[in-house]
Structure 1
Amino acid sequence: MLNIPFRNVNIDQFIDYSTASIMFDRVAPQSLAHANWSEEYPYRPSVSFRMLHGTSHFFLQFDVEEEFLRAQATKHNEAVWKDSCVECFLSFDNRETYYNIEFNILGTGLIGYGSADRKARKRLDIGQVERIATFSQITNVGNNKRWQMILIIPKDIFGSNENLLSRGKVFANFYKCGDELPQPHFISWKPIDSPSPNFHQPEFFGEIHFE
């Protein structure tokens, strides 16, 4: 089980990636180490994440190093998973339903909600996606590109703020993908046991606890 620390922070002080990243300084990174379909997709970029929560927001930081970058989706709720993309899937009701939060390197986002049945899932309005603030930076590391992103996610996107974390256990998985990169890949925090790439499998989510 992963413990998510609580931080009492003032988000108004964040003006860029550097100022926002300071709050993660004492949080240990979690590696996305599982290339679940490695025979067909052997490429494994270096990816880690850190997560915090405050009174009204979740804070999520991704750190990615990969050979190629792709950024084609420029409007929210477009196919961001085809780009250099990081994702967080969260379930607050024992994996009956879950949210999929997906952002590409540009800060273009997509949020879906529902059960694992794709036909039953719906996307949140673009206005809700726009409420998530993003900060990012890109640097060259030899032949690779390192990009880092922070997502500041209002808790009330997911429902009643006061009841959100009191519904029992919270389950999640975290991902990095790039379906249309020169080297497609599907990396996860918790392993997924299935014959073909599919992140929408809540039975493989791991338990997380919000302090």
Structure 2
Amino acid sequence: MKQYTITRARSTVPLGDAVDGTPWEEATVFRIDEFSWHEVGPKPLTTGRVCYDDEAIYLQFSVEDREITASVTALNGPTFEDSSVEFFADPTPDEDSRYFNFEPNCCGQFKVAWQEAGWQERGIDRDLISPELADRISIRTSVPGPTTDGESDADGWWLAAAIPFDVLSELTGREIAPTAGTEWRGNFYRSGVATDSQKATWNPIEKPAPDYHSPEYFGRLRFE
């Protein structure tokens, strides 16, 4: 099981791709480079950083992508079908297996939900974020939106996001306010790729077919 330390930011975290001279500089880089279902073709690399303060958790992704496409414009739509990244996390791993998923596409549209393991198979409802809560999540990307058709000359894109802890608290019905030593479980994913061979994760998933909703394969996320 992989481990990642979420660095505490000592100053305002900018939502962009700049690293030098910002709190991102102190954050450890993670690599989404576990291609558990690879059979043929390239292995596009995605890297990222995470930090936090009293208000929010901040995510920064850098994505290798030669076919940058996005068509989803609705909140909680199937953004995983677009060029996208994903962050799944269980903020209370000692209590149960419930987790939230944050799935932004390259243009900044996203889905957020709160569910428990096996919700799909057992027909259990999940809670999707409301428009009012979603408006409090901030995202910046390098791809002009709201859609893109893959005709850009760019060979990659970046995305940065700030997810306030009070938004997660309202979504989950739990007090989410991590401090030094708090430990979550989670994983980072790359989606919207050409084939299953290009689907990648941070912590490996040992299943015969892609299944990102696999909290049993979450890694450790420890807050500094």
Pick the TM interval, shorter chain. 0.7 to 0.9
How far 1:129 moved relative to its partner?
2.0
Q: Residue 174 of structure 1 corresponds to which residue in structure 2? A: 188
Q: 1:163 to 1:146 in 2, by over 3 A?
A: closer
- Would the alpha carbon gap of residues 10 and 186 (structure 1) be closer, same or farther in structure 2, given more than 3 Å must change? same
Residue number in structure 1 paired with 2:66: 67
CA distance in 1, matches of 2:85, 2:191: 7
Alignment coverage as a number of residue pairs: 203
Q: Using the TM superposition, name which of 182-191 and 28-37 deviates more.
A: 182-191
- Who is 1:115 aligned against? 116
Other-structure match for 1:33? 33
Aligned mates of 1:19, 1:182 — CA distance in 2: 29
Q: Percent identity?
A: 24
Of 126, 138, 144, 1:133 maps to 138
Task: Give TM-score, length-normalised by structure 2.
Answer: 0.80
Q: How does 1:10-159 map to 2 (within 5 A)?
A: 10=12, 14=14, 17=16, 22-39=22-39, 42-94=41-93, 96-116=97-117, 117-118=119-120, 119-120=123-124, 121-137=126-142, 145-159=155-169
- Separation in structure 1 between the aligned mates of residue 29 and residue 19 of structure 2, nearest angstrom: 16
Distance (whole Å) between structure 2 residues aligned to residue 162 and residue 134 of structure 1: 23
Question: Which of 181, 189, 194 is matched with 2:202 structurally?
Answer: 189
CA spacing shift, 1:198–1:71, aligned 2, 3 Å: same
CA offset digits 1:29-86 (Å, max 9, x no partner) = 11111112112x7542110110000111111000001221111011211110000011
Aligned to 2:216: 203
Amino acid at match of 1:34: E
Asked if 2 retains the 8 angstrom alpha-carbon contact of 1:107 and 1:134, the reply is yes
Shift of 1:137: 1.6
Cα distance in structure 1, aligned partners of 2:199 and 2:177: 29
Q: Which runs of 5+ in 1 are unaligned?
A: none
- Pick closer, same or farther for the CA change 1:201–1:162 going to 2, 3 Å: closer
1:79-137 superposed Cα distances (whole Å, 9 cap, x missing partner):
10000011100101216100000000010010011102223222111222221111122
Does the 8 Å CA contact 1:46/1:65 hold for their aligned counterparts? yes
Q: Is the 8 A contact 2:4 2:30 kept in 1?
A: no
The AA in structure 1 aligned to 2:136 is: R
Residues 92 and 98 in structure 1, CA contact (< 8 A), matched pair in contact too:
yes
Q: Distance in 1 between matches of 2:223 and 2:62?
A: 21
8 Å CA contact 1:137, 1:148 repeated in 2: yes
For the residue of structure 1 that corresponds to 2:80, the secondary structure is: helix
CA RMSD of aligned residues (A): 2.7
Inter-partner Cα distance in structure 2 for 1:168 and 1:107:
28
Structure 1: which 4+ aligned runs deviate by more than 6 Å?
none
Structure-1 separation of matches of 2:19 and 2:154: 24
